[in-house]
Chains A and B, each alone.
Chain A
Amino acid sequence: MTGSMVNISKRWGYHGLDALKKASPGYLMLMGAFALLALAGVSVGLHGMITGYHHVYGVSREISWGILISAYVFCVVTSTGLCIISSIGHVFGGEAFMPIAKRAVFMSIIFMLGGFCIIFFDIENPFRMAIYNVISPNLSSNMWWMGTLYGAYLVFMIIEYYFLLEQNHSLSRLMGFFGLVVGIAAHSNLGAVFGMLHGRPFWYGPYLPIYFIFSAAMSGGCAIMFVSTLAWKINPEIMNQRMERAIKAICQVTIFLISTIMFFTIWKIVTGMVSHDKSLVIMALVTGDYAINFWCFEIFLGMVLPLFLLVRSRGNNFNMIMWATGLMMVGIFFMRYDIVIPGQMISVYHSLGVEEALDIIKYTPSFHEIMAALFGLSVICFAYFAGEKMLNGHQLEKHEIVPEGGYICPGCGAIHFMEEGETEEDAMKRHHKIW
């Protein structure tokens, strides 16, 4: 057992619980806080499940998707985005992006699991889902495709992560490719879950599936920069020249993607304003109840401020990047909320001109909903902080000093190990052979 642990430690960079024991008390307290929050969240969620969600949740017949679905969308968007951004490197060979692969894929899995934790408390009968998704599938349902493809996506990402740890770059690349394809299919289906609903003009149309993919890439770039710069705060030694170059490259891509999302948002607002069906919702976002959400969080924290700070940082100022992307994560959460809730604010009978459907429908998240959402988000934070320590900052060695028997592959930039009697070239061929 000890032998295999040593082996994993060397091959995977896995340092186990020992690394946690060595962590500072402050770090452990932070992790403990997230663990407690997750525990509190799951208890409140289970309490809600036992009492019946309709007693404790703020969702209603008209607004049946609340903050839980928003948080779920936030998690899976970020997960897909991490997969998209990291695939630029280890799937498509963009060398600058390669050093982030392990952390990005790890966080992608964690965000996905966090999303599943949240959706568990939104779906009324989650246990039936496991059975009837398999034995009674409806192939015309986007919801079915979304769930099934995300399941497959998670499997691919886990296998990919295993091969990344095992230094098998040809198979990790293959799995990464499948993961990317399935992830994009799943994610655009999530957009289509909203985009194919009749009678919801704010969502209906091809806009959301397309927007979701670009938005995911933006969230992914933001998230990987945030977790990397935060990891640098935790352990300054993880930064080396290769990482610095990676952050700079991601910073450039993210600036481009923020601009793209600004463009999307501008046209969503402008076209919505002249549409009879949408104008009430758009005005609620621009001047009404959701104006603070929209202007302060979605626009300012989610786009304008990070764009300004990222440009200012030139990709070198990690403190600035950390603040920009950290605040941007908050903004992105509201961005998701501003898609999910306003889409339901107008009653389907509004166009009939009846008294019951004249005004927009209100929704306030309840304590139980917020706690259930915090459960998933705290699981993500806890796993992140645990991962940084236990997986040694997602690196084999501090400073990425090439370990004994290994070398930096000139082709992919990762560390390869040579077997006995093997030359570097043989080792490279072995690592990169397809099948």
Chain B
Amino acid sequence: MNFPKIDLNKLKNEGTESVTVKERRNFLKLGFAITGVYASGKILSLSSVLNDVAYASGGTDFVEKYPYNPHYSMVIRQSLCIDCEKCVEACNKTNHVPEYGYRTRILTRKYQGQLDKKVEFIPVLCNHCNDAPCVRACPTKATYKDPVTGIVRMESKKCIGCKTCMLACPYDARYFSAERHAIDKCDFCWEERLSKGETQTGCSSACPTGARTFGNLTDPENIVFKLVHQSEESVWVLRPEDGTKPNIFYMKGNMVSVDNILKGQKFIYSDPAKS
């Protein structure tokens, strides 16, 4: 969150009559952030190494506390997903995923007795956990946390194929690739795209609705930062009980207020090419 610097002594009192509703809300949000009841502050405590600091402080203080820079992350706005599977196709094509495997998939949740919603689609992929169980479980350090970006990556030549990481992963994000002779998994397209200068992953750029939003959580101007740090809509992660501090955030993403947040961010829902 980016608040302008204001010298309070030089300001003249405008009176409370001129405070708009929007400003009022912003002021309240600042208060919530500082006192720690800020909704996303709770979620962020899962992602930051320094939990207590992140939880207790608000504003820009704890932005620096993210353990990586750029701290790559993805926000999935569940309600926008239409199960077109363009992301899965793009992923398979970009990363040469064999037909028996997948790095990302879309799960379907059906509702009964709901008036507004019958079905919901939940895209899942590697959560690039800060406290990754797969990294702990690997006997030969074949899978590791990238010290710069925080991406959970594979050093294929070290993989002995014991498959412990597949079972250690609480997100079912790994499979054994016979072509690579190693476990294969999502690396946020690091090898195929990010390391070659692109800023979006294959799946996020292929998504026609903007359900997948990829970005840098350390940058307060980044859309991912803004989505995670807004307080209008709740943000959650999958399986928080495992304590893995995942970096894939979920939200419904269908509220007007979120649109308002996004409007100033040069983000267009329908045209991923310009995002």
Contact = CB atoms under 8 A, between A and B. Distances in A.
Given A52-B178, A143-B164, 4 more contacts: A132-B142, A144-B139, A197-B133, A352-B238
Nearest to A51: B178
A126 B14 CA distance: 75
A223 B87 CA distance: 54
A199 to B, nearest CB: 3
A64 B161 CA distance: 11
A281 to B, nearest CB: 14
Interface of A: 52-54, 61-62, 64-65, 122-126, 128-129, 132-133, 136-138, 140-144, 147, 193, 196-200, 344, 347-349, 351-357
A348 to B, nearest CB: 5
Interface string B238-254: 11001110000000000
The 3 A-B pairs of least Cβ separation, nearest first, read A124-B161, A199-B170, A144-B139
Given A136-B141, A198-B242, A193 B160 contact: no
Interface string B171-210: 1101110100110000000000000000000000000000
Given A54-B100, A126-B160, A198-B170, A64 B138 contact: no
B33 to A, nearest CB: 30
A34 B109 CA distance: 52
Contact of A138 (B140, B167, B244): B140
B163 interface: yes
A198 B172 CA distance: 11
Contacts of B10: none
A52 B100 CA distance: 13
21 contacts: A65-B163, A123-B160, A123-B161, A124-B160, A124-B176, A125-B160, A125-B161, A125-B182, A129-B139, A133-B140, A137-B140, A137-B141, A141-B139, A143-B137, A198-B242, A198-B244, A348-B172, A348-B239, A352-B109, A353-B109, A355-B107
Contacts, number: 127
Contacts of A200: 167
B124 interface: yes
Given A197-B133, A198-B168, A133 B139 contact: yes
A54 B160 contact: no
Contacts of B238: 352
A126 B166 CA distance: 17
Chain B interface residue number, banded = 35 or more
Contacts of A129: 139-140, 160, 162
B137 A54 contact: no
B137 A128 contact: no
A111 to B, nearest CB: 20
Contact of B137 (A141, A347, A349, A357): A141
Contacts of B161: 123-125, 128
A140 B145 CA distance: 14
A354 B107 contact: yes
Interface string B213-233: 000000000000000000000
B158 interface: yes
Contacts of B166: 61, 64
Nearest to A59: B163
Contacts of B160: 123-126, 128-129, 132-133
A65 B174 CA distance: 14
Nearest to B239: A199
Contact of A132 (B100, B140, B176): B140
Given A61-B101, A132-B142, A193-B164, A355 B110 contact: yes
Contacts of B49: none
Given A136-B141, A198-B170, A143 B178 contact: no
Contacts of B159: 124-125, 128
Contact of B239 (A128, A138, A351, A357): A351
